[in-house]
């Protein structure tokens, strides 16, 4: 086992996220105030929140919350769900339980850093790159060519962070078939599932599509509620879930009771919440289309399929790292340059940046970028 490296993305955000005037790199959808969320609660859920006893909660998660989460899937029940203190804890525990030192794992690149570094701290890991020339799609033949006799797990993330790619259904089905033939776990980071512009067609959850599928979810991204710190793993294998639960005893032990009740309220009102967020995304994507058309000599724009982040290419001579540094320093607008998505496994594009479009202040942020570029 090797030590985990510095988490570049989170270190970058710790410096700038709350110092910049506009966070145009945000990976979450527009959040809401506590009062607005409580206004969506049924009377019994509101009473439950108001009279909540602030003691320990069940390690697996509140039964009503787990039932609400199970309802997000096609044929899952509460006993298929284990809650965590955010998605990061779920990812960490899943890798610790599913992988051993002699194993091999495959991950897509570019990626959210822990999707690579956590398994790499346990065993050998290989990367398979999403191809920008192929609409950021995944070459299933390349995945197949990377499989070794000791390969145990393939890790994917769609809608993808940072590109917003949703894998084509036929390629997803081919990947499931490949994992089934080799008896591999398919770990699927689905934190952006259900999120995207109007008309986005999402993939089935891995846990529904495949008996060895492991689906990671969270309230932070699609529901815009990162302050709740509620994530989960959905998995059909009860033994694996129990092993994850035992590992959680060494970490958060249990979730915060108020957060569990609030997450339950949000999931019951998910149609209302997602409709509001989707309207924001639709409007912001129209703004981005026009912005990048105006500045076609400075940027190459790929319109994402889902989620609320995209990964444009920067064409300026000074390079994307210098551009992003100057933009936040001089205009107060934060973008996330490509160095935060660099991989130790293989080369990744160095001329791109993540831009978020899930928040309500996107228009004002883009106006500031316009002024900076106009000079």
Provide the edge-to-edge strand list for the sheet that holds 336-337: 309-310, 353-356, 336-337
Query: Does domain 52-269 correspond to CATH entry 3.40.640.10?
Result: yes
Angle between helices 113-120 and 87-98 (to 10 degrees): 30
Query: Does domain 8-33+271-374 correspond to CATH entry 3.40.50.300?
Result: no
Tell me: the pLDDT tens digits for 294-318? 999 999 999 999 999 999 999 999 9
Angle between helices 238-248 and 87-98 (to 10 degrees): 120
pLDDT score recorded for residue 1: 56
CB atoms near residue 152 (< 10 Å): 19
Q: What is the mean pLDDT of residues 163-171?
A: 98
Percent of the chain exceeding pLDDT 70 equals: 100
pLDDT score recorded for residue 273: 97
Spatial separation of the C-alpha atoms in residues 306 and 111, rounded to whole Å:
16
Tell me: the pLDDT tens digits for 131-155? 999 999 999 999 999 999 999 999 9
Tell me: the pLDDT tens digits for 323-362? 999 999 999 999 999 999 999 999 999 999 999 999 999 9
| Residue range(s) of every CATH 3.90.1150.10 domain in the chain | 8-33+271-374
Tell me: the pLDDT tens digits for 15-36? 877 888 999 999 999 999 999 9
pLDDT score recorded for residue 216: 98
Tell me the three-class secondary structure of 139-184, residue by residue: CHHHHHHHCCCCEEEEEEECCCCCCCCCCCHHHHHHHHHHHHHHCC
Q: What is the DSSP letter of 80?
A: G
Percent of the chain exceeding pLDDT 90 equals: 94
pLDDT higher than threshold 60 for residue 195: yes
| Residue range(s) of every CATH 3.40.640.10 domain in the chain | 52-269
């Amino acid at each position: 086992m090797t030590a985990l490296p510095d988490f570049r993305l989170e270190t970058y955000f710790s410096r700038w996220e709350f110092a910049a005037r506009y966070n145009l790199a945000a990976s979450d959808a527009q959040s809401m105030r506590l009062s607005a969320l409580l206004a969506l609660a049924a009377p019994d859920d509101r009473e439950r929140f108001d009279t909540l006893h602030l003691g320990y909660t069940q390690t697996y998660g509140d039964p009503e919350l787990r039932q609400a989460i199970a309802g997000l899937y096609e044929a899952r029940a509460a006993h298929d769900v284990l809650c965590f203190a955010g998605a990061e804890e779920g990812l960490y525990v899943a890798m610790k339980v599913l992988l051993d030192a002699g194993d091999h794992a495959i991950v897509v690149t570019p990626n959210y850093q822990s999707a690579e570094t956590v398994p790499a701290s346990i065993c050998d890991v290989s990367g398979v790159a999403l191809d920008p020339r192929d609409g950021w799609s995944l070459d299933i033949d390349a995945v197949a060519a990377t499989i070794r006799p000791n390969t145990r797990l393939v890790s994917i993330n769609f809608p993808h962070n940072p590109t917003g790619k949703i894998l084509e259904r036929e390629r997803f089905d081919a990947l499931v078939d490949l994992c089934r033939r080799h008896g591999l776990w398919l770990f699927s980071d689905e934190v952006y599932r259900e999120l995207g512009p109007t008309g986005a067609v999402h993939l089935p959850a891995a846990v529904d599509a495949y008996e060895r599928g492991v689906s990671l979810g969270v309230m932070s991204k699609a529901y815009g509620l990162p302050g709740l710190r509620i994530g989960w793993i959905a998995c059909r294998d009860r033994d694996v879930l129990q092993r994850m639960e035992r590992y959680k005893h060494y970490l958060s032990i249990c979730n915060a009771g108020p957060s569990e009740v609030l997450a339950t309220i949000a999931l019951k009102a998910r149609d209302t919440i997602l409709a509001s967020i989707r309207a924001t995304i639709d409007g912001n994507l129209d703004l981005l289309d026009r912005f990048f058309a105006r500045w076609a000599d400075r940027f190459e724009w790929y319109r994402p399929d889902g989620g609320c982040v995209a990964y444009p290419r920067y064409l300026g001579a000074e390079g994307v790292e210098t551009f992003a540094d100057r933009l936040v320093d001089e205009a107060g607008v934060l973008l996330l340059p490509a160095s935060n998505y660099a991989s130790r496994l293989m080369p990744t594009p160095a001329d791109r940046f993540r831009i978020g479009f899930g928040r309500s202040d996107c228009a004002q942020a883009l106006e500031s970028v316009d002024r900076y570029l106009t000079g």
